[in-house]
Amino acid sequence: MNLADYDVLSFDCYGTLIDWEAGILEVLRPWAQQAGSPLSDDELLEVYGLNEAQAQRDSPSSLYPRILADAFTHTGRALDLPVSAEWADKLGVSVSDWPAFEDSADALSSLRESYKLVILSNVHREGFAGSNRWLGVQFDAIVTAEDVKAYKPADNHFDALDGVLETLGVPRSRLLHVAQSLFHDHVPAKRHGIASVWIDRRHDRRGWGATPEPSEEYSVGMRFPSMAAFAAAAREARSNA
């Protein structure tokens, strides 16, 4: 893969640019401590991640705050621990407070010089607007779950990319998808014949965290441990083109 062969980068946001696991744990950790749960952070995230994916399948047209609240409630049931409406709503409204990874803003700013940037995210419009305060980048297009009435790994986001590319005047062959989640992003990218790069944010940790393990085929053209490493490789590829 030559990163200079692409003109448009589409990004997953939560897990790739925004540290959604840290944001989720800001609510789940104190709840678990209050409930007397012995589970580690990663164990909590794994149970939660499965329940969020299920909530998204069950209610594809629900806005993300409702998905978060429902997933939290079902996580409590799975662990036989009570989740009050107050706790569930606290997670539901927390999206805008989730922090960006330290390298996200600088990497996006660098990439913006050579590529058009698109967001492809399992979130609602208001939530992403809040998150973009941390990223500080003007994206060329934004596709959310609210827009397409579905959540990745469903095909809706990737189907919508065809319209985005037409508007941008760029062929699909010049599109590269950049994401952390194999389950949410790289599986559907492969189904749609879209080249992709894996930002492996959990490269130094065991397990899958809040992202379910993929059960379908996926492929990645390149793998990077961070957005900073990806942006550096993209700069080098462009300079050698």
Sheet of strand 8-11: strand arrangement: 141-144, 116-121, 8-11, 175-179, 195-199, 222-224
The per-residue pLDDT for range 144-176, each reduced to its tens digit, is 999 999 999 999 999 999 999 999 999 999 999
| pLDDT, position 234 | 97
Structural tokens at position 3: 């990163």
pLDDT above 80 for 241:
no
Residue 235: what are its φ and ψ, rounded to 5°? Answer: -60, -45
Catalytic choice (5, 7, 12, 89): 12
The per-residue pLDDT for range 65-112, each reduced to its tens digit, is 999 999 999 999 999 999 999 999 999 999 999 999 999 999 999 999
155 catalytic, yes or no? no
Give pTM, 2 decimals. Answer: 0.95
Q: What is the DSSP string of 17-49?
A: TB-HHHHHHHHHHHHHHHHT----HHHHHHHHH
